[in-house]
A and B are shown apart, each in its own frame.
Chain A
Amino acid sequence: MNARQEITERTITPATDIFETEDKYTISMEMPGITRENLDITMDDERLIVSGKTSETCQDGYNFSEFRACSFERTFQTGGEIDRNSIEARLEDGVLEINLSKSEEVKPKKITVN
């Protein structure tokens, strides 16, 4: 029960679930207090970087505090597997969900045997 006295670090690595299907990856991240305006999602050829700032959980003057987070940040190594033109992101109830389509080269192909 000592966790109650520990105050969480200022930059949080958000808890994340990642799912994979044949044609896409879905990333689901917990980012409470983050709004669309304060969220950045960038992608280069091998990494997806998600970061967000929040003032809501970054205040001083609490009489009792279990968390303090001023920003969230996480980097995902994606390699060249992602079709960068079809990335979808949705933010709802403090959970960010990103859908990444796999590029054609890495999608499983059905090979017909003649």
Chain B
Amino acid sequence: MYTQEYFDDLFRLSTVFDNIFETKETKRTNYPLINVKDENDILTVEALIPGIKADDIDVEIINKTLTISGEKKNPEKRGSYLRRERAFGKFTKTIKLPYRVDADNVEASMENGILRLSLSKAEDAKLKKIEIH
């Protein structure tokens, strides 16, 4: 008897796909870093994307796949660089969700450089209790 770590397995799967489809334009596939919480059939996805406006982010949900993409624009150079650690440019990150979500019922907010998505489980993906007569 064992409990399946379904989150681990499913997310690991998505890394395989990332590698296959990796192109030059979307090389930084692990940007942005994300956290995912699954609570009461609501998935909360948080992504760290400081220095970007909400207009420059795209969120796409197709079946069980969530894609966050966008472009982090480099602000005007303010002198000569003494240190350069921040990264700019286009990014795409795709993760596989543990279940299908209602794509018409997504809440998204961008605050202090954190993108927060709230995704509800699709009705037909919820557990259905079958009555026995």
- Chain A residues positioned under 8 Å from B34 (CB to CB): 64, 66-67
Write the chain B residue with the least CB distance to A38.
B112
Count B interface residues, CB 8 Å.
38
A69 CB to nearest chain B CB (Å): 8
A8 to B82, CA, bound (A): 26
Question: Which of A16, A18, A32, A64 is within 8 Å of B48, CB to CB?
Answer: A32
* CB proximity to B under 8 Å, residues A40-59: 56-57, 59
Q: Does B38 contact A (CB under 8 A)?
A: yes
A3 to B33, CA, bound (A): 10
* CB proximity to B under 8 Å, residues A1-50: 1, 3-4, 8, 15-21, 24-26, 28, 30-35
Q: Does B129 contact A (CB under 8 A)?
A: no
Question: Which of A30, A32, A61 is within 8 Å of B86, CB to CB?
Answer: A30
- Chain A residues positioned under 8 Å from B122 (CB to CB): none
* CB proximity to A under 8 Å, residues B54-86: 75, 77-86
Question: Which of B11, B75, B85, B98 is within 8 Å of A15, CB to CB?
Answer: B85
Known: A4-B11, A19-B78, A93-B113. 18 other contacts (CB 8 A): A16-B83, A19-B77, A24-B79, A26-B78, A32-B112, A32-B113, A33-B112, A33-B113, A57-B35, A63-B37, A63-B98, A64-B7, A64-B34, A64-B36, A66-B33, A66-B34, A93-B112, A94-B113
A53 CB to nearest chain B CB (Å): 13
With A17-B83, A32-B113 known as contacts, the answer to whether A1 contacts B30 (CB < 8 A) is yes
A17 CB to nearest chain B CB (Å): 5
Q: Does B52 contact A (CB under 8 A)?
A: yes
A95 and B79 within 8 A (CB): no
In which size bucket is the chain A interface? Answer: 35 or more
A-B contact pairs, 8 of them (CB 8 A): A16-B86, A17-B81, A33-B113, A34-B112, A66-B35, A67-B34, A93-B113, A94-B114
- Chain B residues positioned under 8 Å from A93 (CB to CB): 50-53, 110, 112-113
A57 to B8, CA, bound (A): 20
A95 and B114 within 8 A (CB): no
A85 CB to nearest chain B CB (Å): 21
A17 and B33 within 8 A (CB): no
* CB proximity to A under 8 Å, residues B1-59: 7-8, 11, 15, 18-19, 29-30, 33-38, 46, 48-53
